Chain A
Amino acid sequence: TQLLEQSPQFLSIQEGENLTVYCNSSSVFSSLQWYRQEPGEGPVLLVTVVTGGEVKKLKRLTFQFGDARKDSSLHITAAQPGDTGLYLCAGGLIQGAQKLVFGQGTRLTINP
């Protein structure tokens, strides 16, 4: 069973369009991290959110942590081909050693 469900798993859109990726769970997390991963490389951290309802912006990317700390979203405005990649959400469990539980990822393709 997947503790974190990401949707959609695949998304292909045109340059300039907006998109939202969702990360949902029935579990409560102490923190939620978003990573971007290129083929053959390790995940690169985009953002960490820790407070329920928190919103963080990174240029054209907006990240939100749900009020109950069970879900998160990533919104990209005016997508560009350079945004193409695998986006992973990862939740830090409250109990235990802060090991991360990952979603299965969203593979995003931005077409010029």
Chain B
Amino acid sequence: DTGVSQDPRHKITKRGQNVTFRCDPISEHNRLYWYRQTLGQGPEFLTYFQNEAQLEKSRLLSDRFSAERPKGSFSTLEIQRTEQGDSAMYLCASSLGVAGGETQYFGPGTRLLVL
């Protein structure tokens, strides 16, 4: 199966700690997205990469959040000095980047719990 993969699937951390999540997109996809989903809500856009370039960031992405995609393949999302409000499901998606009708395929997500 060559779908989007995310690691870890679950993370429990204490407030103030740093955490890092990894996303491996579908191999030929050049666009990679990060979303956050809280309980009872639909996912919300965080940031987006075209190859290795981070082209857009949401206002939801505070200074404590940083994302990278150094070689245009996998991506990492780091949260520094975690807060309880960061508890959520972090979803990664990838797409081919074809204009119009672009379809995004999601990974299984990383569920973060900040105690």
Q: Which residues on A are within 8 Å of B, measured CB to CB? A: 4, 6, 30-31, 33, 35, 40-45, 48, 50, 88, 90, 92, 96-105
Q: Which residues of A contact B100 (CB under 8 A)?
A: 30-31, 50
Q: Which residues of B contact A104 (CB under 8 A)?
A: 40-42
What's the nearest-Cβ distance from chain A to residue B18, in Å?
24
Give the dominant DSSP class at B's interface: strand
Partner of A42, one of B45, B50, B108: B108
What's the nearest-Cβ distance from chain B to residue A41, in Å?
5
Contact between chains at A100 and B41 (CB < 8 Å): no
Chain B interface residue count, Cβ-Cβ cutoff 8 angstroms: 29
The 11 sampled A-B contact pairs (Cβ below 8 Å) are A31-B102, A42-B4, A43-B91, A48-B101, A50-B100, A90-B104, A92-B102, A98-B95, A98-B102, A100-B33, A102-B44
Q: Which residues of B contact A45 (CB under 8 A)?
A: 103-106
Assembled-state Cα–Cα distance A96/B27 (Å): 23
Assembled-state Cα–Cα distance A90/B63 (Å): 27
Contact between chains at B48 and A97 (CB < 8 Å): yes
What's the nearest-Cβ distance from chain B to residue A42, in Å?
4
What's the nearest-Cβ distance from chain A to residue B104, in Å?
6
Q: Which residues on B are within 8 Å of A, measured CB to CB? A: 4, 6, 31, 33, 35, 40-45, 48, 50, 55-56, 91, 93, 95, 100-109, 111
Minimum-distance CB pairs A-B, first 6 = A102-B42, A50-B101, A42-B106, A99-B45, A42-B109, A98-B102
What's the nearest-Cβ distance from chain B to residue A85, in Å?
14
Q: Which residues of B contact A96 (CB under 8 A)?
A: 56
Q: Which residues of A contact B107 (CB under 8 A)?
A: 42
Contact between chains at B104 and A105 (CB < 8 Å): no
Q: Which residues of B contact A98 (CB under 8 A)?
A: 31, 95, 102, 104
Assembled-state Cα–Cα distance A24/B79 (Å): 34
Contact between chains at B105 and A41 (CB < 8 Å): no
